[in-house]
Amino acid sequence: MKKLVIMAMVAVFISGCATMKFNYSPQATQADWPPLGQQTTVHIGDEMLVQGVAIKRKVLLLKTPVDGACYDIPIGVYSMTGDDPKNYYFSSMGGMGGVIRSALCDPFTGITVPKANPGKVCVLTVFGATSCYDAQYEIKDIENEIDSGQQQSLIYSGMDGKQIKFTYVERSGGRTGFSNSVSYDLAKSTVINYRGARIQVHSADNEQISYTVLENFTARR
């Protein structure tokens, strides 16, 4: 009996030849707001021009928890790390902390989803073996905006007679690193220029401003 058990274990490890893949890179695209040429209205204190980057990444959205003999996988979002002709590979961290291993089971390296066997989610062990379970999931792209180095923005600060006021702000990691108050005389020109940004002002008062961005900031920081 012991020999049969050992042979079965060896067969599992021999059949498992997968290793985690880290060949996937999220897509980064410029995502400044608002789009050039679009008339926009914001209120005093609102950001009226922001320069940022949108990151699109592929994830495994696990809709039902996996309760396996060796591994539990909580519901949640698991980021893709790579793929090959047979599998998609995802981080083991996500959901309520990530994959949970039973005490007598092998350490794991990540999660795989077989391309030829939809409906299965597998835990990949350090030995290249997989433990696969039925699960409801979706592989999808999600997009979010993040700071690119130092984020730049213009905030509308109201009017003082014919003088229109703005606050320029630079942020790094969500923290304000530099700010500067600027003003322009609308009697001289309804197009304002600041750090390469050109903005056509249509109307403005101490409540809101209506404008069109003609050009964004010159330098992406």
- pLDDT at res. 66: 94
- CB-based contact 61:139 (threshold 8 Å): yes
What is the rounded distance in angstroms from the CA atom of residue 218 to the CA atom of residue 164? 22
| 91 C-beta neighbours (distance < 10 Å), count | 19
Of 143, 150, 185, which is closest to residue 164 (Cα–Cα)? 185
What is the rounded distance in angstroms from the CA atom of residue 17 to the CA atom of residue 130? 9
| 2 C-beta neighbours (distance < 10 Å), count | 6
- pLDDT at res. 56: 87
- pLDDT at res. 145: 60
- pLDDT at res. 143: 79
Mean pLDDT of the chain: 86
In tens, the pLDDT along 192-218 reads: 999 999 999 999 999 999 999 999 887
* 51, two tokens: 């320069």
* 39, two tokens: 């008339």
In tens, the pLDDT along 109-148 reads: 999 999 998 899 999 999 999 999 999 999 999 977 655 4
In sequence order, the 6+-apart residues with CB closer than 8 A to the CB of 122 are 87, 111, 112, 113, 114, 130, 131, 132, 133
Whole-model pTM?
0.62
Higher-confidence position of 30 and 64? 64
* 141, two tokens: 């792209």
Task: Give the chain as a DSSP string.
Answer: -HHHHHHHHHHHHHH-----------EEEE--BSPTT-EEEEETTSEEEEE-EEEEEEEEEE-S-EE-SSEEE-SEEEEEEEE-SSEEEE-S--TTTS-EE-TTSPPEEEEEEETTSTTEEEEEETTS-EEEEE--EEEEEEEEEE--SEEEEEEEEEEETTEEEEEEEEEETTEEEEEEEEEEETTT-SEEEETTEEEEEEEE-SSEEEEEEEE--SS--
